[in-house]
Amino acid sequence: MPAQSAVAWIGDASSGNLRLIDQTVLPVEYRELNLRTVEEVWEAIKALRVRGAPAIGVAAAYGVIVGTQSALSAARPEFDARLDQVLTYLATSRPTAVNLFWALDRMRRVANATSGLTSAELVDHLLAEARRIELEDREMCAAIGRHGLPLLKECSGVLTHCNTGGLATAGDGTALAVIFAAARDNPSLQVYADETRPLLQGARLTAWELMQRGVPVKLICDSMAGWVMKERRVQAVIVGADRIAANGDSANKIGTYSLSVLARAHNIPFYIAAPSSTFDLTIQSGDEIPIEQRASAEITNAFGRQTAPDGCDTYNPAFDVAPAENITALITEKGVIQPVTKAQIARVLE
């Protein structure tokens, strides 16, 4: 990974900006974006220039700063109205990743608790909170790696899906943090990375990150995962999550449900690695998780090349939900949740 973090704040509260690695052009091109308006931040989240639930949360928190800089000299009532507008707007960028709403709620609570401050003073407090969200995420990634390492100790091969590394977080990642820790312990560990259709985050991002870190990786099509398991090339599957219900049902990039079914059929442990901020205990099961539907062109004209007939109808959900009964364990910064039950989740998260 480059020295530059995937999500970073550059400068002070009054004139600084959000800097992102544009993930839509990797691995062919490495490009950094300096975002100075809330509209640019919204577009970056919506267009997957920044993606991964934790990174989205960090980006949204910093998006609040760029969105309110124009109201620094306004009286508090006017500033508070602008802040509410920015928070509401950013919340419409992606519906599934709960970290987005969690981070925005933290920023709102800071504002509600500081009614005696001037607008400029409040922005300083908001930037401090956004920096805390980023730092906490980095620390959570390290803890997830430590807690998950023992689960991969006996593995010579592991399968992962989508991208869950430094590009998806402020630190080493979630599922990839565990894989990085396991690879340090066992340099011969072989990682199998799904392409992850339709936007190929596994091919474009995960394979790139693993190669940057010198971790052995083999790229496979999503539809090859079952055969890789059948051939016993992997002894575990580990993925991330964008939202986890109170009972442990876990939403992640489309294709995760299939992996959970295949892993169970082949008696292979299936792990979800995610920070506690990804849990949404207000919903009881995965049936309540909103599933984002994305544009048909991502399937019919992926990366600018037409691969389907004109007018072909599509169904393009961005996520699916792995049921708790298919999940061997949930790996969090607070520890490993096993078995995956509502009571065990509540106990560990407390």
Q: Could you list the active site residues?
A: 242
Give every CB contact of residue 62 below 8 A, 6+ residues apart in sequence.
7, 9, 18, 41, 130
- Two tokens, residue 77: 């009532």
Query: Would you say how long the chain is, in residues?
Result: 350
Beta strands in the chain (DSSP E): 7-10, 17-21, 32-35, 157-160, 190-194, 217-220, 236-239, 243-245, 250-253, 270-273, 279-280, 319-322, 329-332, 335-337
- H runs (alpha helix) in 91-187: 98-112, 119-148, 175-185
- H runs (alpha helix) in 47-97: 53-68, 76-90
- Two tokens, residue 222: 């999503």
CA 144 – CA 139 distance, rounded (Å): 9
**For residues 294-304, b (16+ Cβ closer than 10 Å) or e, as one string?**
beeebbbeeee
Phi, psi of 9 (to 5 degrees): -100, 135
Of 237, 239, 249, 269, which is closest to residue 340 (Cα–Cα)? 249
CA 80 – CA 107 distance, rounded (Å): 12
- Residues β-bridged to residue 35: 18
User: Is 19 strand, coil or helix?
Assistant: strand
Cβ contact 250:172 at 8 Å = no
Other beta carbons less than 10 A from residue 134's beta carbon: 25
Give every CB contact of residue 348 below 8 A, 6+ residues apart in sequence.
332, 334, 335, 336, 337
